[in-house]
Amino acid sequence: MHVVTKAALGTVGAGLGVLGWASLVERNAFRLRRVSVPVLPPGSPPVRVLHISDLHLLPRQRWRAKWVKELASLDPDLVVDTGDNLASYDAVPAVLDAFEWLLDRRGVFVLGSNDYFGPSLKNPLRYLWHRGPAPERAPSTRLPVESLVSGLTDRGWVELTNRRASLQAQGMRIDFVGVDDPHLRYDRLDLVRGPASPEATLTIGVTHAPYQRVLDTFVADGAGLVIAGHTHGGQVCVPWYGALVTNCDIDPGRVKGLSRWWVGAGHGHGAPVAPSSAAPDDAAWLHVSAGLGTSPAAPVRLACRPEATLLTLVARQPSGEADSELVGRLR
């Protein structure tokens, strides 16, 4: 066989192998990340927050639903769901069943574009260059978002779409401020703006997509922590390098996991964003989930396992030394 033919066959074989891994193995290799966030006043007891996001569930995906259902065994104080739960019109009962035991816990949620609209086929390469809000949508299935919302709120979870709310955890008042999906430009920051209450131990901002305008507003109003999803962690990443894109206007260094955000960290669309290592001492914390699923239109994950996160909110050290050590590990 000619050497060029051999090389071509080898390249095709390797490509098929990577595609098989990404679509059949890694996409279903769920993991739980555990992260401590030093965001509470000194002396506060820890608060365990389970962050779930981007489930993108189809009714036939029973393995994924079972994995989510068993997260209740973590016994979280609060659950935060940052949206994109649905992947088909008939998925609401499956989502509510997956959340069945978590719905016994206090919880809050916001919605993502995939709670409103069904997946539509699009050029997957567009994901690699498009960073702004979603363009005008081609016609696609309108999903039963009202049934999803009533199913969650009937069990006691609090909807945060362009709303504020307060919950109790470990004897402390925790305030939440949330927006509808900024990727669809549904966020109404004008409805939720206002200084954080001094009576709350902590204010947490919640958004599906972590656009800079939302992060800036939450943080300027006094949120100490912002929780988001949407990025899928880059979804198709380069092994030993990381994400190439975030599908919004934050930088790839913040595409998943814990980082810092402060007013001035970003400089607008297309401009460099300051790294977490440049954060001032009073910067807020940002947690972005890589999410649990993918759109059925792009069912692959590479170097980016699906995940949920147990955030343990802990007391700040009075000296700030622990914060400095943690920040040193952030990009």
Q: Residue numbers of the site for Fe ion (CB under 5 A)? A: 54, 84
Between CA 214 and CA 127 the distance in angstroms is: 21
Between CA 53 and CA 259 the distance in angstroms is: 17
Residue 48 or 232 having the CB closest to Fe ion: 232
Between CA 295 and CA 297 the distance in angstroms is: 5
- DSSP type of residue 233: G
- DSSP type of residue 206: E
Q: How far is the CB of 40 from Fe ion (least distance, A)?
A: 29
Between CA 209 and CA 227 the distance in angstroms is: 9
Question: Which of 281, 315, 224, 325 is closest to 38 using CA atoms?
Answer: 315
Is the separation of the CB atoms in 295 and 114 below 8 Å? Answer: yes
User: For the chain, what is the largest distance between any 2 Cα atoms, rounded to a whole number of angstroms?
Assistant: 76
Q: Is 194 helix (H, G, I), strand (E, B) or coil?
A: coil
Is the separation of the CB atoms in 82 and 49 below 8 Å? Answer: no
Residue 54 or 175 having the CB closest to Fe ion: 54
Residue 105 or 232 having the CB closest to Fe ion: 232
- Going from the C-alpha of 291 to that of each of 21, 102, 211, the distances in angstroms are 18, 17, 17
Residue 39 or 292 having the CB closest to Fe ion: 292
Residue 276 or 294 having the CB closest to Fe ion: 294
Q: How far is the CB of 287 from Fe ion (least distance, A)?
A: 16
Q: How far is the CB of 291 from Fe ion (least distance, A)?
A: 6
Q: How far is the CB of 181 from Fe ion (least distance, A)?
A: 10
H-helix segments, 108-164: 113-116, 126-129, 145-153
Q: How far is the CB of 310 from Fe ion (least distance, A)?
A: 20
Residue 233 or 266 having the CB closest to Fe ion: 233
Q: How far is the CB of 54 from Fe ion (least distance, A)?
A: 4
- For the record, the structure tokens of 54 come out as 């981007």
- Going from the C-alpha of 218 to that of each of 192, 213, 222, the distances in angstroms are 9, 9, 7
Q: How far is the CB of 177 from Fe ion (least distance, A)?
A: 21
Residue 254 or 260 having the CB closest to Fe ion: 254
